Amino acid sequence: MADIIKCPVCGEGNAADQEFCQYCQSRLQPLTGPLKGADAPLHPGQIPTKKVTAELEPILPQWLRDARNKARQSAEVDTSQAMQQQERIIPPNASEPDLLAGLRSQSRGDDDEDTPDWLANITGVSPKQKKIDSGSSEARRVELGDRSDFAGNTGALKESIPAWQGNTQEASSDTEKDELKDWFRESSGLEGKKDDVPASDSAGWSDQPVSEPGSFSNDQFVPAVSSSDSDSPDWLKRMTPEEDPGNVPSWLSSDMQQEAKGESPSSFADPASGTFEAAPSSADDVPNWLQGIDPKATSAEGVSSDDWLKEHQPKPVEPNLNRHTTPLWLKGNDNSAANPAEAETPIWLSADVPSPPAPPPSRDPFALDDVVPAFGDIPNWLKAAAPQSSIFADSPAEEAPAAPAEASGWLSTFKSNEPPPTPFSVDKAQENLPPTFTSDAFKDGGENALFTEMPDWLSSASPSAPVSSTPALSDSITPGELPSWVQAMRPVDTTSSARPASFSSDQTFESRGALSGLQGVLPAVPGYGPSSKPKIYSIKLQASQEQQSHAALLEQILAAEAEPVPITSFSPLRTSRTLRWLISFAVLVLIIGVTSLQTRIFSMPVAVPNEFNGALQVAQNVPESAPVLVAVDYHPARVGEMEAAAAPMFDQMMVLRHPRLTFISTNETGAILAEHFLAGPLAERGYQYGNQYLNLGYLPGGVMGIRAFTQNPVITMPFDITLNSAWASAPLQGVTSLSQFAALIVITDNVDTARAWIEQTMSTRQATPFPLVVVSSAQAAPMIQPYYDSGQVTGIVNGLYGGAIFEQNNAGRPGTARSYWDAYSLGLLLAMSLMLGGGLWSLALGLRDRAAAKAGR
Amino acid sequence: MAFSPDIIVGLISFLFTIVVFSYLIGDNPLFRIAIYIFTGVSAGYIAAVAWWQVLLPRLVIPLVTAPMQEKLLLVAPMVGAVLILMKLAPRLAGLARPVMAFLVGVGAAVTIAGALGGTLIPQLLGTINAFDVNAAAARGVNLFEVMVNGGVILAGTILTLIYFHFGASARPDGSVRRFGFIEILAWLGRIFIGITLGAMFAGVYAAALTALIERISSLVNFIGKLI
Amino acid sequence: MRVVTVVIAIAAGILILAGYYFSPLKDVQTLLLNWALIFVGAAALVGVFNLLFVHADKIRRREKGSVYSAFLIVFMVATLLFGIILGPEHATMKLMLDAIILPVEASLMGILTVTLLYAAIRLLRRRVDVMSILFLLTTILIVLGSATLPFGDMPLIGTTLRPWITQVLALGGARGILIGVALGTLTTGLRVLFGADRPYGGN
């Protein structure tokens, strides 16, 4: 299994060493190797390496390479053919409009060898079915015209049809050929004439080099030059004389006749110049391929000054569309004169009332003898591209008389002698014109059919049509491989299995409006709803498993490009759970043990800090029953430390001086913590709310609130926590401003809060000095020390250490610090030892790692 | 045994303490639940305090009971409070911008005045007054000690401020470095900053140790009560 | 609108500052400050309800950890209802403080002991320089000096070294930090009053 590679395109197994799939010729081995060296991706700022285009040839898909080869070869053929036909073909009038200029330009581009994907894919032919074209490459053409133009003698035309049209021919079924056969038989009346027409001439209208000469039989429209690659389109080549000799369109047969006479067929372009030739016309918009129309073949009206158009005066109209769609330039002058009905005015040219249908052509539209130097008719594909004014007239009957006047000069020559039938005339079109999308829609060869019916080379590209083998065609439109939109326009073939499913069985002719004459279209009647539910098309991408896997692989490759390269850095120190557990165990065991045992081993601190004395002084010297403002600004997390630090001082003050305490807090939980403080270690003092102490509650705003309270405490805090008027109560009796407080005690665990109280009350305390004592947590004490040193703070009680010292000055009351002290001291000693020992150990390890890193570098 | 509120509170407190201590072993769902419950209760309490002790006494009650003159003065804060509540809706959050601007302006002015008159000038004066020999003598401090201490404090202050000076210029070799003398002084200032931070770290540890002792003490007391 | 916000900020700041130095403007300063306190109270409500909405949205989206958010919302709503109805000083609220808020916060503070010790032990493993060594050495000395022995204070370290470190060495550094902070606060405030900084979204 390892030796077999599955082709990503067709799914067939191939040998592992094969570069291309043996079935579909798609590439199996990736061209791009690992992304390094020459294949390394480009980085920003890097100049890409110049590559020769030819070096990239191998990585192109097979179909593209084939198209390129074909184009090269066709270019060579074109060049040789151009040289040959240089003398015979009249150069086109540059001033004349050339409706096929687009096709010409396409054929002119020898470098344009690549068949557009859209064109290659419209046929619906799988890549497997594409064959390598050894012949010249043909550019794809989208022909708008009557399908019957190219129907019929497909066998005869096969040789002369270019390779790019070969595929379209392949798709044509026998049934389609039968339709074309009928159309050609009826409309052109070219049967029996088998003048040889140079292949290049026959293909001139499509301006494609014909790869297969001799696409027409001798009796029919058969390109004479068989040795060289003719310019006749494939559709022409397909028209075999044995199938329907009489189905050579007149426009084509007339050209062939013209060629036989030594004149350049007016319907075909000059291969050398790559342009279509047309009879000289004074009108500027006469395409070149129309320029060759014999001026003698003029309509009875003859309103146009353009010769070629005059030649194509509508002949007596026969009641069939085939008749109308036979191009005049195919029918030739003779036919146009003999069969005026055959001289057709293109539908898009004429807006006249529908003329009586012309008699069916007596010969195949593509018969050689019908090819006259002058163009007898406009090709169907051209009729389909007719100006809208003639096609979409609402009342063709009304517009028909006006059309001749409106039509331009060169276009008027297309008008038949009889009032040409408009494509959408109600009365006669319905009678005479066959259903637009029926198999024999173009039998009558009417003008309407020219613009409404599919050319053979397009109609044969139906996806449902079986693909017939056509040699030497790779990515051009094969016969029958029509784009989907073209297929949708195809007339419904009742006898053909290739009828598109989208066409309903409604064969009602449209009698009014722009679509008059057409069949099976949506009527322009308001309120009409679709007869059937429209087909639902999935918008999901239909990708096979192989395609998805390839896409995933591509994504991985691209993602690998975008992945950043990890930068080597020092490895982070991993968390040591064991160490953490050991520390936790040691600390918890120690503290639980000491606390449970309630030991009193360690002595209380003796060294009194300088800042402690100020606090002691305040506590001992506050006036009797003086109002003291207490700011409770610590969090519940530090209740134990703060209460242990502040309780001795308050206890001493309350015992000695009985102050009236007023609690306030810039912390949301401060008010309730004040209650907790008084109800805890100070419960023995028995202070009553509203008598000895008051709780003003929460002061919002931080520094803004402190400043506001400092400015005017009465307005800032009018109520206490019970929503009673605070400043009329006993604890605040006689107090209306901050300066009237005997002392300000700030209990805080936060440096910022202490700083805010110190800063905002500075001006008031400078005006009226009163002491400020800060009972702080051990963590805030170092940053509050400068304020004490600068004289802004009277005293500081520093955490449990300060509380312990104060307790010693308070006769050991309340005793919280004492109960905590042993555990506190042991905890500190444990921390010291762990930090010292562990720090030295970590220092040694760190130095070792550094040395190792240095050695490694 | 009757379950008094104290017992119930003690039991709940005990459970929460144990659950939080379980974090020492590792993160676990019980710990997370306890933390989320704590957050919810704290947030609910803060909202209740904000209503009862801020909006109700300062806005609602005066609007009801105060004289008309005072009521007129409360229209602006009432509108401002409503606009701030608009911040709950993303589309209307822009309406609160003027109120936020007012708060920022007021706060900036208050902090400017406080920093200038409450910290900057007094601290400078304090640094100068550290060399006040008379004041030191009045306190009974040795002159030598005053000079040494004053000098160290002054040096520490200056060197710490120099450390936070990050103005540098480009050198001929392309590097951007401070002036050489400044670099030396900044290195010395780093010493003082290290010492200060070390002192703060010790204080943080002491505070945390005290909190731990208090918690364990409460646990032991609760167990003792139960027993 | 942007100009209006900037004008409001600058005007309010100037009036407040003027109230510090001009007596007639003290009442205006008081009025504006009290307005600010009301706005702060409303802002606190906004913060709490925003927390509620965030966790409710987390539950609605069924994100990972939304079960915990359910606990938060339940207890928040319950506490809020109790607080709004009974008042924050009610006994029930005190029970909530004693049972939930206080133990959890204190316990979290307690386990910080282990974390700080762990960090101090591994400090020199990661970084060995003068500042780290001085930092650790100062910590050890202060911790050692704060503790006592059964027979009294720690000799020399507790009586002399520790006070000198905290009252002289650390004081110098702390003063420098405080002055620096004050200068920064001054600069930031002036930038706001000049309109150079617009943290309220006036850009």
pLDDT in tens, A339-351: 444 444 555 554 4
The first and second tokens of residue A794, run together, are 């009277």
Report whether pLDDT(A320) > 50. no
Distance, in Å, from the CA atom of C121 to the CA atom of C149, rounded to the nearest integer, reads 23
Q: What is the mean pLDDT of residues A209-217?
A: 43
Question: Which residues numbered 51-70 in C keep a CB inside 8 Å of some CB on A?
Answer: none
Neighbouring C-beta atoms of residue A529, cutoff 10 Å: 6
Both tokens assigned to B30:
């019980």
Dump pLDDT digits (tens) for C100-148: 999 999 999 999 999 999 999 988 887 788 889 999 999 999 999 999 9
Interface ipTM: 0.95
C117 touches chain A (CB under 8 A): yes
- With a cut of 60, say whether residue A329 has pLDDT above it: no
Which of A762, A763, A799 shows the shortest C-beta gap to B207? A799
| CB A738 within 8 Å of CB A712 | no
pLDDT, position A114: 55
Q: Is B200 on the interface with A (CB under 8 A)?
A: yes
How far is the C-alpha of A540 from the C-alpha of A528, rounded, in Å?
Answer: 31
Chain C neighbours among A 655-684 (CB < 8 Å)? 668-669, 671-672, 675-676
Report pLDDT digits (tens) over A800-845: 999 999 999 988 888 899 999 999 999 999 999 999 999 898 888 8
Query: Are C118 and A583 inside 8 Å of each other by CB?
Result: yes
Where is A695: in which H helix or E strand?
strand A693-698
Q: How far is C152 from chain B (nearest CA, A)?
A: 19
Considering only CB atoms, A587 lies closest to which of C36, C114, C177, namely: C114
CB contact under 8 A, C36 and A704: yes
Tally C-beta pairs within 8 A across B and C.
410
- Pair B38, C101: CB distance under 8 Å: yes
Best of A587, A672, A783, A789 to disrupt the B interface (most B CBs within 10 Å) is: A789
Q: Is A779 on the interface with C (CB under 8 A)?
A: no
With beta carbons less than 8 A apart as the criterion, state whether A344 and A187 touch. no
Average pLDDT over residues A638-662: 95
Asked if C148's CB is within 8 angstroms of A605's CB, the reply is yes
**DSSP at A39:** G
Q: Is C140 near chain A, with CB under 8 Å?
A: yes
Contact assessment for residue B82 and residue B98, using Cβ atoms and an 8 Å cutoff: no
**B 49-108 residues with CB below 8 A of A?**
49-50, 52-54, 56-57, 61, 106-107
Q: What is the mean pLDDT of residues A653-675?
A: 95
Residue with tokens 């069924």: C62
Residue pLDDT, tens place only, B170-212: 778 777 778 888 889 999 999 999 999 999 999 999 999 999 9
Share of chain B above pLDDT 70, in %: 99
Higher per-residue pLDDT: A313 or B207: B207
* Residue A166 confidence (pLDDT) above 50: no
| Residue A102: pLDDT band with limits 50, 70, 90 | low
What's the burial of C79, exposed, middle or buried (CB within 10 Å: 0-12/13-18/19+)? buried
Angle between helix C170-194 and helix C2-21 axes, rounded to 10 deg = 130
What does pLDDT average to over chain A? 69
The residue among A655 and A390 whose pLDDT is bigger is: A655
- Over residues A775-805, the pLDDT tens digits come to 999 999 999 999 999 999 999 999 999 999 9
CA distance A455 to A482: 10
Specify the DSSP element, H or E, that contains A455.
none
The whole-chain average pLDDT of chain C stands at: 92
> C71 vs chain A: nearest CA distance in angstroms?
21
B110-153 pLDDT, tens digit each: 999 999 999 999 999 999 988 888 888 887 888 888 899 999 99
Token representation of residue A851: 């040395």
Distance from C-alpha of C137 to C-alpha of C123, rounded to nearest angstrom: 12
**Residues 567-586 (A) with a CB less than 8 A from some CB of B:** 577, 580-581, 584
What's the average model confidence in pLDDT over A688-692?
Answer: 92
Q: Which chains touch A (3 or more CB pairs under 8 A)?
A: B, C
For C86, name the nearest residue in chain B, comparing CA atoms only. Answer: B48
For residues A775 and A857, give the distance between their C-alpha atoms in angstroms, rounded to a whole number.
Answer: 54
Answer whether A828 sits within 8 Å of C109, measured CB to CB. Answer: no
Q: What b-and-e string marks burial along A134-149, b requiring 16 or more CB atoms within 10 Å of the CB?
A: ebbbbbbbbbbbbbbb
* Mean of pLDDT values over A404-425: 48
3-state SS track over A127-151: HHHCCCCCCCCCCCCCCCCCHHHCC
- What is the model's pLDDT at position A257? 55
Q: Please check the confidence at residue A683 and state whether its pLDDT lies above 50.
A: yes
Which of A227-241, A751-765, C24-38 has the weakest average pLDDT?
Answer: A227-241
What is the secondary structure of C110-166 as a DSSP string? HHHHHHHHHHHHTHHHH--SHHHHHHHHHHHHHHHHH-EETTEEPTTIIIIIHHHII
Instruction: Give the model's confidence band at A263: pLDDT under 50 very low, under 70 low, under 90 confident, else very high.
Output: very low
Burial bucket for residue A48 (CB in 10 Å: 0-12, 13-18, 19+) = exposed
Contacts of A520 (CB under 8 A, 6+ apart): A435, A436, A437, A492, A503, A504, A505, A506, A507, A508
Confidence of residue A150 (pLDDT cuts 50, 70, 90): low
Nearest to A137 by CA among A471, A476, A482: A476
Contacts of A590 in chain C (CB under 8 A): none
- Searching chain B, which residue's CA lies closest to the CA of residue C162? B199
**Predicted local distance difference test score (pLDDT) of residue A218:** 44
- pLDDT value at A444 more than 60: no
Q: CA of A616, closest CA in chain C: separation in Å?
A: 18
Q: Are A674 and A747 in contact (CB under 8 A)?
A: no
B114 neighbourhood in chain A, CB within 8 Å: 703, 707, 756, 759-760, 762
Q: Which of A507-511, A607-611, C65-69, C122-126 has the highest mean pLDDT?
A: C65-69
pLDDT confidence of residue A673: 95
- Which residue of C13, C68, C75 is in closest CB contact with B109? C13
Show the tokens assigned to A343: 């001289």
Across A121-209, the runs of DSSP E, i.e. the strands, are 196-197
Nearest Cα residue in chain C from B148: C168
| Mutate which: C21, C82, C129, C179, vs B, most B CBs within 10 A | C179
What subunits touch chain C, counting only 3 or more CB pairs under 8 A?
A, B
User: CB distance C16–B109 less than 8 Å?
Assistant: yes
